[in-house]
Amino acid sequence: MSSADPRVRTRPQVETIVDLDAIAHNVRILCEHAGPAAVMVVVKADGYNHGAVAVSRAALAGGAAELGVTTVDEALELRRAGITAPILTWLNTSDADYGAAIAADIEIAVSSVEQLRAVGRAARASAAVATVTLKVDTGLNRNGIAPDQYPGVLEQLSRLVAEGVVRFRAIFSHLAHADEPHHAVIDLQRDRLVRAVARAADHGLRPAVVHLSNSAATLTRPDLAFDMVRPGIAVYGLNPVPEVSDFGLRPAMTFRARVALVKRVAAGEGVSYGHEWIAPHDTTVALIPAGYADGVPRALGGRISVRIGDRSYPNVGRVCMDQLVVDLGTDPAGAQEGDVAVLFGGAPGDPHAQHWADLLDTIHYEIVCGPRGRVVRGYTGQAGVM
């Protein structure tokens, strides 16, 4: 299509491009690691900032059986988009709109007696049966039913099941040390989960499904797959255990911006606020219209490079709210206004989100959740597109 085509809008200045075929590819890899266990793909936080609806469709096309989200609202967004696959929501306050979740056939995980009571009330009020899952805390000590609450939850659940307002489906838990495959706490948590399932059985409550593994455990601990695994980050092509293997994962997100300006800077001139970088010789710089308001952390100033064409150019000076500058060096033809500058991505030669994470002493999960504000999301690939 030519740029005169009225269907083609001007390309955004700063954008993320999500490769849906990479999502489907990564899910296929995770399905292989899961063996006979089903795969629930985690699309919380708008699909780790990749777009929950499009990612869900691509993931289902790649072999995912179910979807997992944090809140009821996130689950409802998927239903509104016409997604009919099973969806689990696992972190809501007791006053969440459980009625809407039940009406939309969303499976609800509870972490307390209070939350379970609220689900029961919503089910009674709507004369519909709620599907409930128990999220048990086996040692993460975060979300999940605390051990001292567990007996009370089981009693309450037995009553609600007997009353016919709740259908009990699953028990699951979440690991604290999944990215250290041989950590002893992993086995401790597995044993506690198995015991929680046995204690539910003592109350006549038999889950159809038990699950524990996130991405790291799916890839490194097949013995923990139970009936289903719950990968998130690996679906997006980012490896939680790079020291083990690359697993053939493909990063789905490319973060890029178009060069807004190219200019000469004379030797001795300072660039960007505070003049932290002084041109050592006459040079040419390119202005990249992406800054910390767009998800390029200010702490990366002077420490990253961008790819333009087949070359990599260093950022010089501070990252500002809306822009950063790269040094094209003695090659004034290195970039022109309108050229695409890749901040991070998955193609060969692209800077990698893992590198940003290493520089910032954080994890790539946080890096891909960064792009926001003016950043326009686009998609490539066909997986799940109808």
Ligand X SMILES: *Cc1c(COP(=O)(O)O)cnc(C)c1O
For ligand X, the binding residues (CB under 6 A) are: 42, 44, 90, 174, 214-215, 230-233, 240
- CB nearer to ligand X: pick between 89 and 156: 89
- CB nearer to ligand X: pick between 215 and 283: 215
- CB nearer to ligand X: pick between 90 and 98: 90
The closest residue (CB) to ligand X is 232
Report the alpha-carbon distance of residue 262 to residue 128 in Å, rounded: 62
Query: Do 314 and 356 touch, CB atoms closer than 8 A?
Result: no
**3-class secondary-structure state, position 30:** helix
Catalytic residue from among 48, 273, 313, 365: 273
Q: What is the CB neighbour count within 10 angstroms for residue 281?
A: 10
What contacts 24+ positions apart, CB below 8 Å, involve 200-205? 200/134, 200/154, 200/171, 202/154, 203/154, 203/155, 203/157, 203/158, 204/158, 205/154, 205/157, 205/158, 205/161, 205/168
- CB nearer to ligand X: pick between 215 and 315: 215
Query: Do 110 and 119 touch, CB atoms closer than 8 A?
Result: yes
- CB nearer to ligand X: pick between 90 and 313: 90
- CB nearer to ligand X: pick between 234 and 257: 234
Question: Cβ of residue 230: shortest distance to ligand X, in angstroms?
Answer: 4
Question: Cβ of residue 239: shortest distance to ligand X, in angstroms?
Answer: 11
Distant-in-sequence, close-in-space partners of 6: CB < 8 Å, separation ≥ 6: none
Q: Token pair for residue 340?
A: 């695409």
Question: Cβ of residue 59: shortest distance to ligand X, in angstroms?
Answer: 13
Matching residue, tokens 């505070």 = 274
292 included as an active-site residue: no
Question: Cβ of residue 160: shortest distance to ligand X, in angstroms?
Answer: 23
Query: Do 144 and 137 touch, CB atoms closer than 8 A?
Result: yes
- CB nearer to ligand X: pick between 19 and 179: 179
44 included as an active-site residue: yes
Question: Cβ of residue 44: shortest distance to ligand X, in angstroms?
Answer: 6
Catalytic residue from among 44, 48, 135, 313: 44
Q: Token pair for residue 168?
A: 């009990």
Q: Token pair for residue 199?
A: 């204690």
Distant-in-sequence, close-in-space partners of 326: CB < 8 Å, separation ≥ 6: 285, 286, 288, 305, 306, 308, 313, 314, 315, 316, 335, 341
Question: Cβ of residue 224: shortest distance to ligand X, in angstroms?
Answer: 13
Closest alpha carbon to 196 in 114, 241, 138: 138
Query: What is the full DSSP assignment across 77-126?
Result: HHHHTT--S-EEE----TTS-HHHHHHTT-EEEESSHHHHHHHHHHHHHH
Question: Cβ of residue 42: shortest distance to ligand X, in angstroms?
Answer: 4
Report the alpha-carbon distance of residue 291 to residue 299 in Å, rounded: 11
- Report, as residue numbers or ranges, the catalytic residues: 44, 273
